[in-house]
Amino acid sequence: MKFAKAMANGLTVMVLAASITAVQAADFRLRAVANSNENDEDYDGLVVFKDFVESRSNGKISVELFIGTQLCGNGTECVQALEDGSIDIYVSTSGGTANMYPYVQVLDLPYILADDRIAETVLSGSFVQEMRKDILKDSDNKVRLMTVGNTGGWRNFANTKRTVRSPSDMEGLKIRTVVADLPQELVKSLGASPTPIPWPELYTSFQTGVVEGSKNGITDIMGMKFPEAGLKYVTLDGHAYMAALWLMNNEHFSEMPEGLRKVVVDGFYALQQATFASPKRKSIQAYQDFTKSGGTLYVPNQAEKDKFKAKAQPVYQWFSKNVDQGEKYYQLLVSEASKAEKSIAATYQRELN
């Protein structure tokens, strides 16, 4: 037993020593930041990215993960750190970077991307390439958009008062939003009252009636235990795909030899696919837990969804007129979504006949 234990301890030391040597031997060290936690899709993606890049580069690239806020606390700080080169990779929602690149809010426009298949097709094509060019330009070639993934599935309307079947059911509800114009314009267009509340305060705000609803994904709703605070009704209108922008310091990317840049690009592809898949799996249990807790789910039909989209028209107009490059990105998203719909319809035609 003592011999076996000694052998085990020796192997542990050897593995640790090998890991340390591998990190020290790496030609490039990438510091990746996600202001979330280890239950989040961002973390799932980073684990896949780290494994892919380190193994495919044969140890020439090492990836250090910083989950939380120890290196930077919000989108503005973290993008600044990216520009300075003190971190190498950062993931953000559009809201986290909208003050620097306002047009990324296009990803929050409601009812344009109809489902996962369409969203994933659009976010894997020329739409992201165009946004990459503009972010590079607007950051003086310092920040590079590597890919766009998912972080939580779809935003749906949820509330403490009643089942929402049509926009008229939204009338008068106090809906929590972030401090950003676009989500507030959406809530107003549907007849509800936008109420900016910090995320950490949302649970008690439901309890006290400061707000009566929110626009979140089901994994966030269950992860924060909002049903215990009174959130009982979720309408699966899927008004916005919860996109995540994966950004990288462009200088650090560009200084790698072409072969390693290809590994990084492929690593972000693997990361993207992981984040596309993760919320699909996690939402299964989350929906089951929500209904078990006494929650009510409502799935609007297409005619009902069309009513929501019609009421949201002022949001598209606001975005096009008030956001830098808003008209360009609104038209581009609509165009790419239409192309994806036609391509997928053609695929159905081949597969169903």
pLDDT at 353: 87
pLDDT at 13: 43
Q: Could you give the count of Cα atoms lying within 13 Å of 250 in the half-sphere of its Cβ? A: 16
Quick check: is 72 in a domain?
A: yes
pLDDT at 11: 44
What is the CATH classification number for the domain harbouring 70?
3.40.190.170
Distances 119 to 86, 262, 345 between C-alpha atoms, Å: 32, 24, 14
Quick check: is 32 in a domain?
A: yes
C-alpha radius of gyration, the chain, whole number: 22
How many distinct structural domains can be found in the chain? Answer: 1
Q: Could you give the count of Cα atoms lying within 13 Å of 135 in the half-sphere of its Cβ? A: 31
d(CA 216, CA 165): 17
Tokens 């215990």 found at: 228
Q: Cβ–Cβ contacts within 10 Å for residue 85, how many?
A: 13
Quick check: is 332 in a domain?
A: no
Quick check: is 346 in a domain?
A: no
Quick check: is 227 in a domain?
A: yes
Contact 144, 256 (CB under 8 A): no
pLDDT in tens, the chain (353 residues): 444 445 445 544 444 444 444 445 799 999 999 998 898 899 999 999 999 999 999 999 999 999 999 999 888 999 999 999 999 999 999 988 998 999 999 999 999 999 999 999 999 999 999 999 999 999 999 999 999 999 999 999 999 999 999 999 999 999 999 877 899 999 999 999 999 988 889 999 999 999 999 999 999 999 899 999 999 999 999 999 999 999 999 999 999 999 999 999 999 999 999 999 999 999 999 999 999 999 999 999 999 999 999 999 999 999 999 999 999 999 999 999 999 999 999 999 999 98
The residue segments making up the domain with residue 150 are 17-316
Contact 114, 97 (CB under 8 A): no
Paired tokens of 221? 């709703």
Q: Would you state the torsion angle of the CA atoms of residues 176, 332, 82, 323, taken in this order, to the nearest 10 degrees?
A: -60
Q: Which of 40, 52, 42 is nearest to 244 (CA)?
A: 42
Quick check: is 160 in a domain?
A: yes
**Alpha helices, H only, 26-114:** 41-56, 75-84, 94-97
d(CA 69, CA 330): 32
Buried b (16+ CB within 10 A) or exposed e, 270-298: bbbbbbbbbbeebbeebbeebeeeebeeb
d(CA 118, CA 245): 17
SS3 192: coil
Element (H, E) at 205: helix 202-208
pTM of the model: 0.89
d(CA 275, CA 344): 21
pLDDT at 276: 97
Quick check: is 74 in a domain?
A: yes
Which residues neighbour 69 within 8 Å (Cβ) at sequence distance 6 or greater? 35
Q: Indicate the residue type of 118.
A: I
Quick check: is 321 in a domain?
A: no
d(CA 233, CA 296): 5
pLDDT at 180: 79
